[in-house]
Amino acid sequence: MTGVLVIDDDDRIRLSLTLALQDEGYTVRAAASAEEGIAEQRRRPAETVLVDLMLPGIDGYECIRELRRNDGVPIVVVSARDDTHDIVAALEAGADDYLVKPVAVKELTARLRALRRRTRSALAVPGLSFGDLEVVPEAGEVRLAGEPVAVTRTEFRLLCELAYHAGRVLSRQQLLERVWDYTVGDERLVDVHVGRLRQKIEMDPAVPRHLVTVRGLGYRLQR
């Protein structure tokens, strides 16, 4: 199974997550602070990182941003905070998913399996151009005006799905199923990732030319 890094300052929760994931066949390492977790990820990269938001020293948001600087590793927030602001802020910092404590082990492992499937899969489509925007699924690249654009794995999967269905509207639920592999999930995941993509691929994110909203229906990538 895959390697998981758990970053949580609560000894009891950190141990319980570690034991539960090990029982499910995962190789688990653990860290009690963001600083320790970031250093551990640099030494021996895990395939998935679980991050609590309420950490001593560097908080969970900054931990996510730091992990994101040079690493496309899937990041799942596991936090007691369930406020919409906290969820959106964590996703905007670079998290791929968000779970509220207490977490059922079966739900957590289902999310981890979904993350693994989508980060390892590739859409078998050729490079697609949308004016100055180019998506190259087989190379794992996004280019804007010929320059590479740094995107996370989830952002890339989302953009590929929209590119594959260029000109068609995909609902938030369809995107949750196809990109996140969730039959049930929080549609805010889609909205926040779309917003982050617009910051990277649009000249004016407030007036997008490529990744547009079709009110009441969903999103469309257009030339």
- Structural domain boundaries enclosing 213: 128-221
pTM: 0.66
The domain that holds 160 is classified in CATH as: 1.10.10.10
Asked if residue 76 lies in contact with residue 26, where contact means CB atoms within 8 angstroms, the answer is: no
Asked if residue 37 lies in contact with residue 7, where contact means CB atoms within 8 angstroms, the answer is: yes
Same domain, 110 and 164: no
Same domain, 107 and 191: no
Best mean pLDDT range from 126-135, 142-151, 192-201: 192-201
Q: Which of 120, 150, 182 is the last residue in one of the domains?
A: 120
For residues 94-103, average pLDDT: 90
Between helix 84-93 and helix 60-69 the angle, nearest 10°, is 20
The domain that holds 53 is classified in CATH as: 3.40.50.2300
- Total domains, the chain: 2
For residues 25-53, average pLDDT: 95
